[in-house]
Structure 1
């Protein structure tokens, strides 16, 4: 398939690398990233593997008649509004938004487009000329209305790749759940200025993180959303101490840095917006989120 990936950050770069087999992949990038990709290729230093260098077709602008079988929009939540006009003016039909998104309703009805949503399991940090990364090669992807009418199309995109695909056609619920799980971890990152190792022995704070996550899930449940994946809510409530232990373990090693704090500390605008959108949901639910409200101050009051 002819695929376009808009965005060459950590997620977009890993997705391009992982989805390339069996597909004709183009990357839309700008400025220095465009020059680096054109001149040196896509360089990824894989924490769990060797360095790879891939060469893709790279464009700076998407023309109206430059049609792709599918366009993957892999950008920060805070940048999506600036990308919408680009895809609206292009004749490609199938669009997949990849990444954090707590406001799916805003983007799911683009005129003349078949819109899907996804979350790709990769993390790391972008440097000048390369990506330092850990990638699990897993993707959750699908519609938001529960219908399976795009399942065959989705499978055809990934059939020759090594990406493990889970089709989830309630992606609105999935992405809202994910946002509620991630935000308290982001707050923790700002509490220690990105050095999560300072929290590796703090049992009390790790339990507060769990309480804040559960409060977020309760908001979603009150509003009628399903907590996904199935069993996530029950695990957090019934195995809270174990989940808190897992987070402390992550904080103690490179996983915490690459999967949580690197992104958190480099994308404050994104997480401020995610928090703001969550606040709208909380007000609508009329539930109190006392622990969440306490922890979020680390993000809101942070000064570099």
Structure 2
């Protein structure tokens, strides 16, 4: 398959690696120093837990032209950056687009692409479970033995999923389909955003944060408040275990948090650079909009919001 990975950060680079190893003809869209790196050295990834590095040669472009046709386009980037690339995606004549990453407004993005494109578009949304960071010339990827992507449409069956399945047919990569990714994505950031207030509360010192029992209980309570906002607005929190963990298994949640914050993995997943400040700010604003619509109080979110970049403006 002819595939474009639009976005060459940590997640996009790993996805491109998987797709190349699966036998696809992969192009990456990159700019600046990352474009130079890919053209000079290829897609270099250090697989952190696997103690190995890989190099994949990929096609590289810096702009998406309307007549650049791909069987499938993966758009892998931070939530605040999606908006700026929608016009180029709408103008492009490729039919199948999968937007991957945190996303508080997938319905609006889908509707824009459908309304603004000169041809019929098939649009889906996904979230890839991996992490990492960038160093000059290569990406460090933190993942398990099999990376998973949760993906799907927005309340409808994804009738064109065979196109996506074909891209991964020769890979060790797990696809988990959800019927309503709008609910899944909103549920996801209700869980992860409170966790990402922990590091800023202690200027990145997670070991100190792990000793602040009050803060950890506020985080757990905030997750439950976020779930309540979604429930009040008629969303189904997905997965359902998220409600159970924050509402009925708080002691387990608390112990998991303390353990995670005390390990190197916790620094990677919950460190002050795990999620960018602009993405935290954008997701926090999205939460405030939902909270306003639900018209309920969220005292623990309000406290944690003091550590949000948006509160420092």
Whether 1:293 aligns to 2:295 is: no
In 2, Cα distance between equivalents of 1:207 and 1:55: 47
Q: 1:23 matched to which residue of 2? A: 24
What's the secondary structure of 2:164's corresponding residue? helix
In 2, Cα distance between equivalents of 1:260 and 1:97: 23
What's the secondary structure of 2:271's corresponding residue? helix
Q: 1:115 matched to which residue of 2? A: 123
TM-aligned CA deviation for residue 59 of structure 1: 0.8
8 Å CA contact 1:10, 1:133 repeated in 2? yes
Q: 1:158 matched to which residue of 2? A: 168
In 2, Cα distance between equivalents of 1:301 and 1:179: 16
Superposed, 1:245-256 pairs within 5 Å as 245-256=255-266
Q: 1:94 matched to which residue of 2? A: 96
8 Å CA contact 1:151, 1:167 repeated in 2? no
Structure 2: runs of 5 or more not aligned: 115-119
How many residues align? The count is: 303
Deviations 1:159-193 (A, max 9, x none): 11111110112100010011111111111121122
TM normalised by structure 1 equals 0.95
In 2, Cα distance between equivalents of 1:269 and 1:98: 17
Two-structure CA RMSD over aligned residues (Å)? 1.7
In 2, Cα distance between equivalents of 1:172 and 1:302: 26
Deviations 1:106-157 (A, max 9, x none): 2122123211000001111112211122023111011112324233333222
TM-aligned CA deviation for residue 301 of structure 1: 6.9
Superposed, 1:5-84 pairs within 5 Å as 5-20=5-20, 21-49=22-50, 50-84=52-86
Whether 1:144 aligns to 2:154 is: yes
TM-aligned CA deviation for residue 200 of structure 1: 2.3
Between 1:28-37 and 1:182-191, the stretch displaced more is 182-191
Runs of 4+ in structure 1 displaced over 6 angstroms? none
8 Å CA contact 1:209, 1:244 repeated in 2? no
TM-aligned CA deviation for residue 262 of structure 1: 4.9
TM-aligned CA deviation for residue 198 of structure 1: 1.8
TM-aligned CA deviation for residue 236 of structure 1: 2.1
Structure 1: runs of 5 or more not aligned: none
In 1, Cα distance between equivalents of 2:129 and 2:272: 15
8 Å CA contact 2:305, 2:311 repeated in 1? no
1:56–1:301 distance in 2 versus 1, CA, 3 Å = closer
Whether 1:182 aligns to 2:192 is: yes
TM normalised by structure 2 equals 0.92
